Amino acid sequence: MDIPPWLLAPESAHTSWLDCQPTRLLALPALARQLGIAQLWAKLESERPLGNFKSLGGIPAATRALALAMQRAPGRPPPRLICASDGNHGLAVAVAAHRAGTSATVYLPRSVDAARVARIVFAGATIAWVDGRYDDAVEAARAAAGEDALLISDTSDDPDDPVVADVMNGYAVLARELSDQLTRVRARPSHVFAQAGVGGLAAALAEGLQSGLAPGGRVLVVEPASAACVGHGLRLGRVASVDGPLKTTASMLSCGRASAPALRILLRHRAGAVSVDESELSDAVTVWHGTGNGTTTASGACGLAGLRHIAADPARRRSHRLDADSVALVVISEAAPSA
């Protein structure tokens, strides 16, 4: 593996080395009218390489971690990679390992569906099954890391975790794309609906879009009601686990503990929180498919579910200041996976 000098710089945890092309930002005027707002914009991360936004974080963060490790131990083969995942982050880390000529082990809870598992295996990674929740997989991966294995995590209880910072710097590419695209179409969102598992995507949007929001504009974190760990952390002002099995059709968001680096950013920007039930998640997928702009999942449409949840109720509309002049932004964070 050749180590380009720029990869060793902390500010360079991005995807320029992938020659990444911006995904589309779409206006959805018909759906905006149905929801009683002025404009609705959707960022299509379903078009991103690997079918989701996680490629922006996992691949460059893993590659930079490998480069740093090889700089510290020149002449040695690249160490193997370890991560926990519900599917998408693990695929990104597996691809990074394959490109670097090393191996990856991805710790997965047994609830991960076969299509997601097949993609990770096809990318060359080994699966380590974990009984329990996603958070149990995070702990198992952390325990397995050592001198011969680098942990490439997208969540941490350490607000200054350097690898998680690199992952989130990768997600910032999405926010920069959005800033440029919104400027070109002269749109200033009043409401950004960002789905959350551990909170990395929502934090990247909160940090990267502040200057482009309308006056009083706000990021609203949207989560399944059964796995609302980021909202729990926002209410408490600190990371804390939520109880229960975290069972939800939004399987990429089935997380019981927010990431401390993400939560710190969301608290600083006074992000709000919205939780949605399973029927609202299902309805959002149906609505999205009806736009004719490709497939997604309950995880991918969760932000849209949050917007629809608020728009459907006059009291919630008043509480969140959603009205006929509002400009909403959602992210379709993944396409429906296929093996």
**pLDDT tens readout for residues 164-208:** 999 999 999 999 999 999 999 999 999 999 999 999 999 999 999
DSSP letter at 38 equals S
Is it the case that residue 273 has pLDDT exceeding 80?
Answer: yes
Whether residue 146 lies inside any domain: the answer is yes
Tens digit of each residue's pLDDT (9 = 90 or more) over 105-143: 999 999 999 999 999 999 999 999 999 999 999 999 999
Whether residue 133 lies inside any domain: the answer is yes
> Would you state the structure tokens that stand for residue 276, as one six-digit string?
């949605």
CA distances from 205 to 22, 118, 238 (A): 15, 30, 20
Is residue 157 domain-shared with residue 198, that is, in the same domain?
A: no
Domain count within the chain? 2
The predicted pLDDT at position 338 comes to 78
Average pLDDT, the chain: 93
Q: For residues 54 and 106, is the Cβ–Cβ distance under 8 A?
A: no
Domain boundary among 114, 137, 162: 162
> Would you state the structure tokens that stand for residue 74, as one six-digit string?
């020149």
Is residue 180 domain-shared with residue 279, that is, in the same domain?
A: yes
Is residue 216 domain-shared with residue 319, that is, in the same domain?
A: yes
Is residue 240 domain-shared with residue 260, that is, in the same domain?
A: yes
Whether residue 196 lies inside any domain: the answer is yes
Strands 272-276 vs 218-224: parallel, antiparallel or unpaired: parallel
Is residue 103 domain-shared with residue 145, that is, in the same domain?
A: yes
Q: What is the mean pLDDT of residues 31-46?
A: 98
Is residue 182 domain-shared with residue 36, that is, in the same domain?
A: yes
Whether residue 121 lies inside any domain: the answer is yes
The predicted pLDDT at position 2 comes to 47
Is it the case that residue 19 has pLDDT exceeding 60?
Answer: no
Is residue 132 domain-shared with residue 200, that is, in the same domain?
A: no
Dist CA 233 CA 256 (whole Å)? 10
Is residue 149 domain-shared with residue 182, that is, in the same domain?
A: no
The predicted pLDDT at position 146 comes to 86
Is residue 87 domain-shared with residue 145, that is, in the same domain?
A: yes
Domain boundary among 141, 162, 183: 162
pTM to 2 decimal places: 0.94
**Residue 138 belongs to what domain range?**
54-162
Q: Is 8 helix (H, G, I), strand (E, B) or coil?
A: helix
Is it the case that residue 1 has pLDDT exceeding 50?
Answer: no
Type of residue numbered 303:
G
Dist CA 149 CA 152 (whole Å)? 9
Q: For residues 60 and 13, is the Cβ–Cβ distance under 8 A?
A: yes
Domain boundary among 162, 187, 213: 162
Is residue 188 domain-shared with residue 141, that is, in the same domain?
A: no
Is residue 157 domain-shared with residue 269, that is, in the same domain?
A: no
Q: Is 131 exposed, middle or buried (0-12, 13-18, 19+ CB in 10 A)?
A: exposed
Type of residue numbered 39:
Q
Which CATH number characterizes residue 78's domain?
3.40.50.1100
Whether residue 126 lies inside any domain: the answer is yes
